[in-house]
Structure 1
Amino acid sequence: MVRTSPPSTWMQGLDLPSQLFGDAGGSDYELYEEDDEFVLTIDMPGFETDEIDLAWDDGILNVAAEHSDESRGRKKTYHRRFRFPKVIDDEEIAAEYTNGVLEVRLPTADSTTQGKEIPLEG
């Protein structure tokens, strides 16, 4: 029989991973696929349009933002990377920032190649 001791009182009620690492931001965005495109919406209140940088690089969307409030001595930053499992038509990516919500539309590219047939000898 393996006996476990109860956690000490100073550890009770702590969810250590979320306390140490935070929620990992899982609730600040929504990503779904509709009509041959991915739609990504991110809650980013408090930023101005010119403070948000979007970059596309080989299947990864990088979203970064920085806002400085010098009168209060505060700085707010956001940074997240999103990897997409399908080929994206990077010429048609569109983004809009309205009322604190960033929406990025990433159309999937027409991929005629779905793999390669391998001949079998024998």
Structure 2
Amino acid sequence: MEEEYSRFLDAFTKMKKEVDRIFSETVSKLPRGMISWGLYEPPYDLEDAGNEYILRIDVPGFRKEEIKIRVTEDSVEVKAEYSKEKKEEDSRRNYVVKQRVYEGFHKVVNLPSKIKPNEAKAVLTNGVLEIHLPKSETSREVEIQIES
């Protein structure tokens, strides 16, 4: 029974990765304005650097004040929102045009093992958000020798 469940989870995980890949490829080809429709999902890399995970997410055009990051023991949630209002006045006519622009995304990345959320650090450089996530001692993989 446990083996069947494991095979099901493996198949489901492969299917999810394939759907994510197809969706990501399609969305990356959309015009920038489509982001405001909520269709944008930023590409990311998750690196296992031994004692920590390093999560890199492309967030072009967003300032650090517009990005919120929440970290738990097993996931990272990144939310970014950008909005501005543009006014155009026409002195010849009696109206004002307001154009509101909103862009944003919400991304949750599940981590392969537990981390120490209180020690996480983030840096934004040239449109790339880099989050360092120190692994929890209990989640680190170690090799042990067999005693005789």
Same fold (TM over 0.5): yes
Q: Distance in 2 between matches of 1:112 and 1:86?
A: 6
Describe the SS at the equivalent of 2:137: coil
Q: Which residue of 1 aligns with 2:54?
A: 39
**Aligned match of 2:111:** 84
State the identity %.
30
Separation of aligned partners in 2, 1:75 and 1:30: 26
Residue 101 to residue 58, structure 1, CA distance change in 2 (3 Å): same
1:58 deviation in Å? 4.3
Give yes or no for contact 2:40–2:105 (8 Å, CA) kept in 1: no
Q: Which amino acid aligns with 2:112?
A: P
Give the structure-2-normalised TM-score: 0.56
CA shift digits 1:63-119 (9 cap, x unpaired): 0000012125211101100111211011211101111110001010111899xxxxx
Q: Which residue of 2 aligns with 1:99?
A: 126
For structure 1, which runs of at least 5 residues remain unmatched after alignment?
A: 1-16, 115-122
TM-score of the superposed pair, with normalisation by structure 1? 0.67
Secondary structure of the structure 2 residue equivalent to 1:73: strand
C-alpha distance in structure 1 between counterparts of 2:77 and 2:112, whole Å: 15
How many Å separate the matches in 1 of 2:140 and 2:106?
34
Moved over 3 A (4+): 21-27
2:57 corresponds to 1:30: no
Q: Which amino acid is 1:57 matched to?
A: T
Q: In proportion to residue count, which structure has more helix?
A: 2
2:125 paired with 1:110: no
Q: 1:25 to 1:77 in 2, by over 3 A?
A: closer
Structure 2 stretches lacking a partner, 5+ long: 1-21, 29-38, 87-98, 142-148
